[in-house]
Amino acid sequence: MAYFYSEPSHTFSEYLLVPGYSSEECIPDNVSLRTPVVKFRKGEEKCPLTMNIPMVSAIMQSVSGERMAIALATEGGISFIYGSQSVESEAAMVARVKKYKAGFVTSDSNLRPDQTLADVLALKEATGHNTMAVTDDGTSGGVLLGIVTGRDYRVTRMGPDTKVSEFMTPFEALVTAHEGITLPECNDLIWEHKLNSLPIIDDEQHLKYFVFRKDYSSNKENPNELLDAEKRYIVGAGINTRDYAERVPALVEAGADVLCIDSSEGFSAWQKLTLAWIREKYGDSVKVGAGNVVDREGFRFLAECGADFVKVGIGGGSICITRETKGIGRGQATALIEVCQARDEYYKETGVYVPVCSDGGIVHDYHITLALAMGADFVMLGRYFSRFDESPTDRLMINGNYVKEYWGEGSNRARNWQRYDLGGGKKLSFEEGVDSYVPYAGSLKDNVSMTLSKVRHTMCNCGALSIPELQQKARLTLVSATSIVEGGAHDVILRDNSKATK
């Protein structure tokens, strides 16, 4: 007869934090969100890799591309470039992040001179960008022939079939700079010539980067940016349990700082084989996380196999239907609590601290604070990051509202069969994820700043100024269905501020 757990598993929404004493020092500006990413031994001076904020982006096609990696590292977190693409393509993405220089932006809004005003408007709708490079082949690395900005055209006075070549600002009229120029020198040119953007070209006039006036102040406002010893952005990458012998060397060569096995269920021989191969070839020099698991046994298995961190969560993602299709999983809060207890037990026994990543089940910002209080060292987010400008998907207008596309790795669109591999045929036997839209939310920076402000304020309510202190002091209470209703707005008629008049 099957084993039955005596208690039901719970989700984050079934818990609340009980406030503790807040001293005079407990103000949000004093809160540190630094957290370890990979394992370390007791007595070591510091963890080999830490983050300045406890947030990483999910290993998903619709979430983690190079723009996301740069934006999140700028804020102090890590993006894991998605692995459901060719080895060459993923390695190239990683390499571009490592080669990226802050303030030097690769153009992702590009046109050919034979395209039309209609194409300009469509590109602006898709990317939200006003500055578009015009190159000979319409790529970001083509020969720069001109640029188009909102000042170059008027929709009311020009036909949609007007050629870009007729209204663009031609190369001869542009102020440009050559590759090798420093960012301060670029900013001097921008201010001297009153420019909004400065194209950077090579000796053959190929476009390399843009430097924007608006980025000048932002370069001064990123005290948390996460950099390696050579002042390059930290970036992660996803791998699978099939082609690791080809993928891992390519990603290491490209400069990936940390890898993670992307799998829906990590308590398996396939992850053991993958970790054993990496340890045999690279020792501990290559950092790699594993998962996902939902209980003590799963954590111990992966920790003993050599994982640098362990991911927790099966079926809790907003686009995941694994629980519906296969009937496996566990409430995220219950799974996280048990795994973190196992992590602490393992640390006491071995002196090795293996960080835990909570993956899935985050619906509201306060769920992040709950996950940290329950023991997570950091959280992995998919839907959250998919809403931002920096995700790789298109921004669309649906029923009068802007949305971003968001699909699961187990959907027919992604067809990431390796993530659900059980050693059978190389195919996705059935869907374990859906194809969807999420409300567009703007820039990553603005949203992450707001989310972390809430986290810091809540930590102060608990009397904690660091994540370890929160885990020591936090007091959690289960809530009833009625108290969940009580916690929101109730028994009032909400005012529609969009229609209200003075």
What is the tens place of the pLDDT at every residue in 72-108? Answer: 999 999 999 999 999 999 999 999 999 886 678 889 8
Q: Looking at the predicted structure, is the pLDDT value of residue 418 above 70?
A: no
> Is-contact 245 275, C-beta < 8 A?
no
Which pairing describes strands 40-41 and 352-353: parallel, antiparallel, or unpaired? antiparallel
Query: Rounded to whole angstroms, how far apart are CA atoms 390 and 382?
Result: 13
Where do runs of H (alpha helix) occur along 76-174?
Answer: 87-99, 117-127, 164-167
d(CA 136, CA 146): 10
Please report the pLDDT score of residue 288 as a whole number: 98
Task: Report the candidate in 84, 16, 10 with the shortest Cα–Cα distance to residue 364.
Answer: 16
322, pLDDT greater than 90: no
DSSP 345: H
Tally of CA atoms within 13 A in the half-sphere of 133 that contains its CB: 29
Q: What is the pLDDT of residues 154-211, one digit of tens each?
A: 998 999 999 999 999 999 999 999 998 988 899 899 999 999 999 999 999 999 999 9
Residues 149/130, Cβ–Cβ less than 8 Å: yes
pLDDT value at position 350?
Answer: 97
Please report how many Cα atoms fall inside a 13 Å half-sphere around the Cα of residue 319, on the Cβ side: 27
Q: Report cis status (omega within 30 of 0) of the bond before 292.
A: yes
Quote the DSSP letter at residue 173.
G
Mean pLDDT of the chain: 91
Task: Give the confidence band of 500 by pLDDT, cuts at 50, 70, 90.
Answer: low
Q: How far apart are CA 72 and CA 55, in angstroms?
A: 9
**Tell me: the pLDDT tens digits for 22-66?**
999 999 999 999 999 999 999 887 899 999 999 999 999 999 999
Q: What residues pair up with 288 in beta bridges, in sequence order? A: 259
Do residues 37 and 47 touch, judged by C-beta distance below 8 A? yes
Residue 455 in tokens:
């986290």
Residues acting as catalytic residues? 320, 419
Phi, psi angle pair for 484, to nearest 5°: -65, -40
Percentage of the chain lying above the pLDDT 70 cut = 93
Tokens representing 188? 């001097």
Tell me the Cα Rg of the chain: 24
HEC readout, 29-53: HHCCCCEECCCEECCCCCCCCEECC
Structural contact between residues 446 and 350, judged by C-beta atoms closer than 8 angstroms: no
CA distances from residue 493 to 13, 48, 484, 489 in whole angstroms, order as listed: 24, 53, 19, 9
Give yes or no for residue 463 having a pLDDT over 90: yes
The mean per-residue pLDDT over the stretch 402-410 comes to: 86
Return the closest-CA partner of residue 54 out of 330, 362, 473.
362
Q: Which long-range contacts (CB under 8 A, 24 or more apart) does 192-201 make?
A: 196/131, 196/149, 197/131, 197/147, 197/149, 199/133, 199/144, 199/147, 199/174, 200/104, 200/176, 201/144, 201/176, 201/177
CA 178 to chain centre: 32
Q: Quote the CA–CA distance of 442 and 387 in Å, as a whole number.
A: 7
What pLDDT shows up at residue 430? 67
The pTM assigned to this predicted structure is 0.79
> 245 Cβ partners below 8 Å, 6+ apart?
277
Residue 211 β-bridge partners: 198
> Cα dihedral angle (310, 224, 391, 154), rounded to 10 degrees?
180
Q: What pLDDT does 407 receive?
A: 84
Helix (H) or strand (E) holding 293: strand 288-293
Q: Is there a contact between 39 and 347 (Cβ–Cβ < 8 Å)? A: no
Q: Which two tokens stand for residue 231?
A: 């002042």
CA–CA separation, 80 vs 260, rounded Å? 8
Are residues 328 and 313 in contact, defined by beta-carbon separation less than 8 angstroms? no
- What pLDDT sits at residue 414? 59
Looking at residue 423, what is its pLDDT? Answer: 66
How far apart are the C-alpha atoms of 257 and 67, rounded to whole Å? 17
DSSP letters of 412-445?
Answer: TTT--GGGG--SS-SS--S--B-EEEEE--B-HH
pLDDT tens readout for residues 257-310? 999 999 888 999 999 999 999 999 999 999 999 989 999 999 999 999 999 999
